[in-house]
Amino acid sequence: MVRSIRYYLGKRSRSELCNPFYSLTMGTRILVFCLSLFISSSIKAQDTSIVNNKIVSFCEKHIGKKVGRGECWDLAKEALDFAKATWTPPYDFGKTTLPNKEVLPGDIIQFENVKIVYPDKSWKEFPHHTAIVYKVLGPGKYVIAEQNVNNKKIVTLSEIDLNFVKKGKFTLFRPQ
């Protein structure tokens, strides 16, 4: 934004910039430009919140039920479609985000060959799995909505802590 304003001002002659009427007009243009950027980013943040809330609502309504064919991916697909999110099948669920950023309920997690080993030696493996953050319990710790786990093709909730990932890769997506 600053670069755009500097570029715009750089195109003006010294007499234009020193003219009080021009400066007032220019200041108004810059203010309107800045406000439009702020409003645009606020609307996007609000849209994200609405989309994520719809995804969580979809999960709530389907706990204990089979979604689609019962595959893990079907839950994410149907929830994103229900929320009217913009995404590209099969695995581009939105804007990628980092785990140390704020993760929101309704974000999507794609696991690839992930093994989580907890301090009590219990573990979970996700060879190739898609889940939805249902609730945030703390940094890296979530309740996830998922299906096709332990041969159960229904939506279930489980708790995971990504701070204990020992191998593999996971990607967090913010639906748009």
SS3 87: coil
pLDDT confidence of 16, banded at 50, 70, 90? low
Q: What is the pLDDT of residue 2?
A: 41
Residues 60-116 pLDDT 10s:
999 999 999 999 999 999 999 999 999 999 989 999 988 777 899 999 999 999 999
In which region does residue 20 sit, left (phi positive, over 0), alpha (psi from -120 to 50) or beta (all else)? alpha
Of all residues in the chain, what percent carry a pLDDT higher than 70? Answer: 73
Structure tokens at 121: 């030696």
Average pLDDT of span 1-5 = 42
Asked if pLDDT for residue 59 goes beyond 80, the answer is yes
Cα–Cα distance between 129 and 150 in angstroms, integer? 12
For residue 63, give the DSSP letter. Answer: B
Q: Read off the pLDDT of each residue in 151-170 and give the average, rounded to a whole number.
A: 97
E strands, the chain, in order: 95-97, 108-117, 123-138, 141-146, 156-161, 165-174
Please name each of the domains of the chain with its CATH number: 2-174 (3.90.1720)
